[in-house]
Structure 1
Amino acid sequence: MVVIVILFVIAAAFLVIALVGPYRLYWQARPHAPRQPSDGALAVGRVVAFGVAGVFFFGACSVQESIDQGTWSASEVREAAEDAAESMGNEPQIRRDPTDGYTSLIETAVMKAGDGQGPSYRVSVERAGEGHDYEISAAGSGTTVCMHVAEKTSEGGVFVPGADGSSDSIPEYELTATVDDGAC
């Protein structure tokens, strides 16, 4: 953060130099001084000062953007969790691991919903208790949201043929999820 402030201060200093033109003020105070630069040279100096100010301003903005892409904000975590909750309710889901519940499904949905908001590898989803409550957090945000998942068995399911010619059905669940601020 200090680097960004320093880059903006340097850009502002060069902008002041370009706007005020201290060389022009200095040479106007000494009109008969030897080796006085021409008006064209002073204009080029001002254009160069504008260019240098622009370079430092662009550098500060680039550093700020890279820092922003490397961390999650609290609002981004909440928004990604809400988008994930909405997308999970669009299609029936299969519970893959009874001990895991929907943790991997939620983590994938949050990473997909938060694409471009923060680094996806910094998302953490943990099951809270025995029910279907999940705590979602992301590194750098300093916040945790709680997703409550309610499931309802849907009609049919996925039929899996057995080796002996029989078939079993794996149930599908229709999910509805809500998101609250704070831990579960």
Structure 2
Amino acid sequence: MINNLELHFIGLYSKYGTDTNLGKENWIELKEQYQAKGRYYHNLDHITAMLMELESVKEMLINIDLLFFAVYYHDVIYLPHSSCNEVDSANFARERLVNTNLNNKQIDQIADLILSTKKHELHQESDFNYLIDADLSILGKPWEIYLQYIKNIRKEYAMFSDTIYNSGRSKFLKHLLAEEQVFKTAWFQKKYEEQARANLARELALF
């Protein structure tokens, strides 16, 4: 159970670094990014939700620490009008984690995990699929929670007109519904697939 993000992140960081102050500095930086103005969904609540989803399947994961690092950094750069958020977030993570005892291969994997959250495509390595599913888990929540999610996403895209936003959102919804499975892993499919499809179809009917 993750009750305190600050303690969790600093504890994670300290496992791979000897400078506790650097861990605290990195946490403060992350916190400021996720609490920036305009972050109605891609904020620390989203990070907490993803961490909790991964905690629930930790026995199935190969390297939970790398996944945790990827969660913390995957939306650290988030600009609704940008198509480079994942690339920028991956580079941001690389710059911060180079000061730890993580080796180059581990840092590369964290960056690759972050990049996988752009298209949410099936990956040959299971940890990637669990991360992707955790990122999309909001789609399978009860309608009332899902409805608040779509309201928050709309707020994040407030700079776009309804015509532009609805067109882009509809395309996204249709793409997900056309997939054989929204979720990549059997565990998340069993838990969320049915509700996710119902939510997606219900939202699409609003346009």
Q: TM-score, normalised by structure 2?
A: 0.21
Instruction: From the two aligned structures, give the one with the greater strand fraction.
Output: 1
Could you say which structure has the higher helix fraction? 2
